[in-house]
Amino acid sequence: MKLSRSVIYITFSLAMLNVFSCSKGSDPLPELSIQGVSQERKTTESTMKFRLTLSKPALNAVSVDYVLIDGTASSPADYMAASGTVSIPENQTQATIDVLINADPLNKRLPNLEFTVSLSNPKSCTIATSSAKGTIITEDGTYLVTDNSGYTTPLVYPGYSLVWSDEFSGTSLDASVWNQEIGNGSGGWGNNELEYYTNSPKNTFVSNGNLIIEARKETFDRFNYTSGRMTTQEKKLFKSGRIDIRAKLPVGKGIWPALWMLGANITSAGWPACGEIDIMELVGTAPSTVYGTLHWSTGGSHSSKGANYSLLTGDYSKQFHVFSIVWKQTGIAWYVDDQKFLEISAADVAADIYPFNSDQFFIFNVAVGGNWPGSPDNTTEFPERMFVDYIRVFQ
């Protein structure tokens, strides 16, 4: 039997309507994602905004429940706990969850703090990303306290006068005294060191009566570590006297803190002819031992002499110790906590030109890696910090 033309048209139209309806009904729901946020902690309250994004505009209003979950950051100490429902109106694709971050008036330097925003119970959407981290950046804070216990030395010695000191009692490094060197030098400062030295307060800062030099495991330029190296070159020069430096040292494989001096004529005479006085060096794999050394030139070749001093208990990271030299025209003696462990006379230095009766400048640094300490490994805990309470020069 033949169908009439009108029946065929109606049948075809109904078929097409059915196909359209099926296609529309199978259209997938928009996917909802949330992005993590990192933000520096401030000295006043601030708001951390988490962005919610739909993969496409929704035909209907979308909603999702959220809750904040403690991690290393906790509520109410670090942020204000919250939970609730967020809606995105139809034909829109974005919304935010605002989290109140508490102030830290002191701007304390701490490991970064984290919490989680968790999503659930979506309506008119699916969840592509169900959680995101909120990172409160506190590692760059400018206030850091450390235990001040340990050995100390006086401000007065018989026969001496205090001619210069830095007690690091302010809030910033004294630029009239200290230079901050930048870079990796030639071949890692001649030692194949692995750090990049910066002038950033992330690596060198003054807090709570101490100078702090901090070595970090972080990428900078082509290097995997940053640290600080500071000098008094062309600003504070000395020859002879008693020098006391009270410091607490970093330890760990690949860590190399040093308090030392170089001849002021290094740019013209070169090293080692300019002379080098290592007041203190420590290799991190021997945390209970420090070294004192002289370096000079004999017949155009490098010569050196030194010794070490080991603690009977503990290591140099536990308390402050005082590293001293008594520097005379006739020679130099080294001390740890007023215990002499090395003396080198001018007669012991068979140099072409004896360099240790000429001006020298100070260098403080924390190296990472190098020929002597080797490279860090997974046992090395970063950040590594050297604290210097004071440097005093008596003549």
Three-state SS string over 8-45 comes to: HHHHHHHHHHHHHHHHHHCCCCCEEEECCEEEECCCCC
pLDDT value, residue 177: 98
Q: Are residues 229 and 99 in the same domain?
A: no
Using the Cα atoms of residue 42, residue 46, residue 48 and residue 49 in order, give the sign of their dihedral. negative
On whether residue 320 sits in a domain, the answer given is yes
pLDDT value, residue 188: 86
Q: Are residues 167 and 247 in the same domain?
A: yes
On whether residue 22 sits in a domain, the answer given is no
Which whole-number Å values give the CA distances from 147 to 54, 108, 188, 318, 337, in the listed order?
51, 15, 32, 9, 18
Which whole-number Å values give the CA distances from 136 to 71, 113, 116, 140, in the listed order?
11, 5, 11, 11
User: Which SS3 state, helix, strand or coil, does residue 7 take?
Assistant: helix
Share of the chain above pLDDT 90, in %: 89
Share of the chain above pLDDT 70, in %: 93
Instruction: Indicate whether 126 pLDDT > 70.
Output: yes
Domain ends where: 81, 103, 137? 137
> What CA–CA distance (Å, rounded) separates 324 from 333?
8
On whether residue 227 sits in a domain, the answer given is yes
Q: What are phi and psi of 18, to 5 degrees?
A: -65, -40
Q: Are residues 346 and 292 in the same domain?
A: yes
Instruction: Indicate whether 349 pLDDT > 90.
Output: yes
One of 193, 281, 343, 381 is an active-site residue; which one?
Answer: 281
Instruction: Indicate whether 132 pLDDT > 50.
Output: yes
Mean pLDDT of the region 274-287: 98
Per-residue pLDDT reduced to its tens digit, 1-52:
444 444 434 333 433 433 333 334 467 999 999 999 999 999 999 999 999 9
Query: Which stretches of 167-220 are assigned E, i.e. beta strand?
Result: 179-180, 195-197, 204-207, 210-220
CATH number, position 98: 2.60.40.2030
Give me the chain's average pLDDT, please. Answer: 93
> What CA–CA distance (Å, rounded) separates 119 from 127?
8
Instruction: Indicate whether 131 pLDDT > 90.
Output: yes
Mean pLDDT of the region 112-133: 97
C-alpha torsion 342→345→351→354, nearest 10? 110
On whether residue 6 sits in a domain, the answer given is no
Which whole-number Å values give the CA distances from 100 to 36, 39, 50, in the listed order?
15, 12, 11
Mean pLDDT of the region 173-191: 93
pLDDT value, residue 26: 62
Mean pLDDT of the region 82-110: 97
CB 192 within 8 A of CB 369: yes
Q: Are residues 130 and 167 in the same domain?
A: no
On whether residue 193 sits in a domain, the answer given is yes
DSSP 116-140: EEEEEEEESSEES--EEEEEEE-TT
One of 276, 343, 381, 384 is an active-site residue; which one?
Answer: 276
User: Which SS3 state, helix, strand or coil, does residue 267 take?
Assistant: helix
CATH number, position 247: 2.60.120.200
pLDDT value, residue 172: 94
Q: Are residues 212 and 306 in the same domain?
A: yes
- How many Cα atoms sit within 13 Å of 144 on the Cβ side? 28
Instruction: Indicate whether 95 pLDDT > 50.
Output: yes
Partnered with residue 281 across adjacent β-strands are 258, 291
Maximum Cα interatomic distance, the chain, rounded to a whole number of Å: 131
Gyration radius of the chain over CA positions: 32
Burial of 221 (0-12, 13-18, 19+ CB in 10 A): exposed
pLDDT value, residue 24: 44
Partnered with residue 327 across adjacent β-strands are 241, 332
On whether residue 18 sits in a domain, the answer given is no
What would the two tokens of residue 212 be?
């702090």
> What CA–CA distance (Å, rounded) separates 137 from 113?
7
Q: Are residues 220 and 359 in the same domain?
A: yes
> What CA–CA distance (Å, rounded) separates 88 from 29?
14
Q: Are residues 297 and 388 in the same domain?
A: yes
Q: What is the DSSP letter of 348?
A: G
Instruction: Indicate whether 76 pLDDT > 90.
Output: yes
114 is catalytic: no
pLDDT value, residue 1: 45
Which whole-number Å values give the CA distances from 156 to 76, 356, 392, in the listed order?
49, 25, 10
Residue 233: give the domain boundaries.
162-394
pLDDT value, residue 27: 79
On whether residue 12 sits in a domain, the answer given is no
> What CA–CA distance (Å, rounded) separates 34 from 128?
8
Instruction: Decide which of 8 and 364 is more confident.
Output: 364
Which residue type, as a one-letter code, is found at position 317? S
Residue count of the chain, please give it: 395
343 is catalytic: no
Which whole-number Å values give the CA distances from 118 to 50, 65, 85, 113, in the listed order?
11, 8, 11, 17
Q: What are phi and psi of 321, to 5 degrees?
A: -130, 160
